Amino acid sequence: MRQENRKSGQETRVDIHAKITDRIVAALEEGVRPWVQPWSTRNLEGRVTRPLRHNGEPYSGINVLLLWSEAVARGFRSPTWMTFRQAVELGAHVRKGETGSTVVYANRVKKTETAENGDEVERDIPFLKTYTVFNVEQIDDLPDGYRPSLPHDPKAGLNRIAAADAFFAATGAVIRHAGNKAFYAPGPDLIQMPPIETFRDVESYYATLGHESVHWSGAKHRLDRDLARYSKDRSERAREELVAELGSVFLSADLGIVPEMEPRADHASYVASWLEVLKNDKRYIFSAAAHAQRAVVYLHGLQPAAQQVAA
């Protein structure tokens, strides 16, 4: 009986990965990058942020993609989500007939097992659970402040772009401008960018710079994502490009940048390669989101304010 329960638990975890990956694959097959769509939706009125928990803490990793996708599909303007119980604790209630959205929680548990030689061995076992959240637009009687208006301040864009300049400068990355291609060169350890004037809009420039900065973060002496096979292995290149793609949209959200996200010349081939990777590995979108999250956290950690806190 114990073995059957263990097997059932494993199948449940695989089903979670498969269900979410299949959903993303379906969107890619329709030509839609589900992590990009929020940039252009009217419902956000030119503003974008990461999905937020009821306490204002931003979601991370795969949950960002899941809740962005839900917000766009269902027309939610607010970025804030909470569980049924959290709503009740605030004196509010989810409206009858509303359906929730799935997010996931990953953690590890330690388990002691007996090895073949009789020794007791402690194993670190990862597990994944799902739970349901509701957007605040599905909840009545919430306290003031849970439904902030989203006015568009035309002057705010200039401030946000200025902040983006400061953000990328603080990373210490060597950024050179020339030519018509954007890339990270591991040998000389530098980012090459086309001049900002060549982009459709300045926001797209910063989004692209964010993409290349995520590549930069993966160098061996930084996060060590093993980029050695990038130029030799099509599958490894697709995996790393997906990490950089997700990291770029996470960063754009954090910096308040709303780019047009004009497709690059290599966009179609990347989408095809992502589909191949995701169909063959139902867990990789989780890994890619986690790597992207670590890269973004690393880049934030290079900022002066973060270093002062660390000191």
CA distance 250 to 230: 22
SS3 238: helix
SS3 191: strand
- Does 161 share its domain with 301? yes
- Does 206 share its domain with 130? no
From residue 114, alpha-carbon distances to 9, 120, 126, 145 in Å are 21, 4, 19, 53
Distance linking the first and last C-alpha atoms of the chain: 53
- Does 26 share its domain with 165? no
Token pair for residue 288?
Answer: 């890619």
Per-residue model confidence (pLDDT) at position 153: 42
CA distance 311 to 299: 17
Counted domains in the chain:
2
- Does 127 share its domain with 199? no
- Does 130 share its domain with 167? no
- Does 175 share its domain with 273? yes
- Does 39 share its domain with 103? yes
Domain that holds residue 255: 156-310
101 is a domain residue: yes
Length of the chain: 311
SS3 80: strand
User: Domain boundary residue among 140, 173, 189?
Assistant: 140
- Does 164 share its domain with 283? yes
Residue 311: which residues within 8 A CB-CB, separation 6 or more? none
149 is a domain residue: no
> Which pLDDT tens digits describe the chain residue by residue (311 residues)?
334 344 444 444 447 778 778 878 887 877 667 665 444 444 444 456 789 999 999 999 889 888 988 887 776 778 899 999 999 999 999 988 889 999 998 877 777 777 777 777 777 777 788 999 999 989 989 998 776 554 444 334 333 578 899 999 999 999 988 777 889 989 899 998 888 877 878 888 899 999 999 999 999 999 999 887 777 778 888 889 899 988 998 999 899 887 655 445 555 556 677 788 888 888 888 999 999 999 999 999 999 976 655 55
